Amino acid sequence: EAQVTQNPRYLITVTGKKLTVTCSQNMNHEYMSWYRQDPGLGLRQIYYSMNVEVTDKGDVPEGYKVSRKEKRNFPLILESPSPNQTSLYFCASSLGAGVMNTEAFFGQGTRLTVV
Amino acid sequence: GENVEQHPSTLSVQEGDSAVIKCTYSDSASNYFPWYKQELGKRPQLIIDIRSNVGEKKDQRIAVTLNKTAKHFSLHITETQPEDSAVYFCAPAGGGYNKLIFGAGTRLAVHP
């Protein structure tokens, strides 16, 4: 079954404790991205990756890191989480971007609370 | 970068009525125009999309229309049902930007 898998689904952590949210897709998609969703603000892109070893900032990258060592995986890293990073996070993948843009497939979401 | 605006931000209709949500964008090179539906507690999922060489596309009760000259496209839902209640997002793309920008969303409530 074609899918995007995120883990964990729920996470409560303390300020400053490094954490990683994993994202994996089995559709051989080139483009992967991370979003945060906050009430009234829609889906805001944090980082995206056009392909292996190619990553770039989205609209709200501060406080986040990503890596793309393999095509299928795109983890989101919070080196020193702060309470303003409390949010619902989605990973998404699609065949391509720009002129290759197609449907985006989303993971189940990760609800992160930083206390 | 691409500027995307959705209107209205909330929409309340009676069951059976029609609903229309509009998305305006700034990048004239955009060529892919999708609409996503997000039900409460779930992930966004594509419900309909259109490419720039087509003016309208229909799938049962939902349709998308595109006006490339005016740089907007709209989602039309006819004979609305309570299960249409959700947040709807547009995400025009395919132009010169690799960022995928979503509109702020429209919360649709369909009352029985």
pLDDT digits (tens, 9 = 90+) for A49-90: 999 999 999 999 999 999 999 999 999 999 999 999 999 999
Interface test with A, best of B39, B100, B107 (most A CBs within 10 A): B100
pLDDT digits (tens, 9 = 90+) for B81-93: 999 999 999 999 8
pLDDT number for residue B53: 80
Find residue B10's DSSP bridge partners: B107
Q: Token pair 């795109």 is at which residue?
A: A74
Angstrom distance (rounded) from CA B28 to CA B64: 18
Residue A14 has pLDDT above 90, yes or no: yes
CA A20 to chain centre: 10
Average pLDDT over all residues of chain B = 93
Residue B108 has pLDDT above 90, yes or no: yes
Q: Do A33 and B100 make contact, defined as CB atoms within 8 angstroms?
A: yes
Angstrom distance (rounded) from CA A63 to CA A86: 12
Report which of A92, A26, A27 is spatially closest to residue B100, judged by C-alpha positions: A92
Q: B80 vs A55, A72, B110, CA distance in Å?
A: 41, 38, 7
The larger pLDDT score, comparing residue A71 to residue B99, is at: A71
Question: In the A/B pair of chains, how many CB contacts fall below 8 A?
Answer: 65
Q: Do A98 and B104 make contact, defined as CB atoms within 8 angstroms?
A: no
Length of chain A: 115
pLDDT digits (tens, 9 = 90+) for A95-112: 877 666 789 999 999 999
pLDDT number for residue B1: 66
Angstrom distance (rounded) from CA B81 to CA A80: 45
Q: Which residue in B has a C-alpha nearest to residue A31's C-alpha?
A: B98
Q: Do B93 and A42 make contact, defined as CB atoms within 8 angstroms?
A: no
pLDDT number for residue B95: 72
pLDDT number for residue A19: 97
pLDDT number for residue A100: 67
Q: Which residue in A has a C-alpha nearest to residue B10's C-alpha?
A: A40
Give the mean model confidence (pLDDT) for residues B36-49. 96
Q: Do B102 and A108 make contact, defined as CB atoms within 8 angstroms?
A: no
- B→A contacts (Cβ < 8 Å), by residue, are 1, 31-32, 34, 36, 43-46, 49, 89, 91, 93-105
Query: What is the arrangement of strands in the sheet containing A65-66, beginning at the earlier edge strand?
Result: A4-7, A19-25, A76-78, A65-66
pLDDT number for residue A98: 66
From A85's Cα to the closest Cα of chain B, the distance in A is: 19
Q: Do B99 and A48 make contact, defined as CB atoms within 8 angstroms?
A: yes
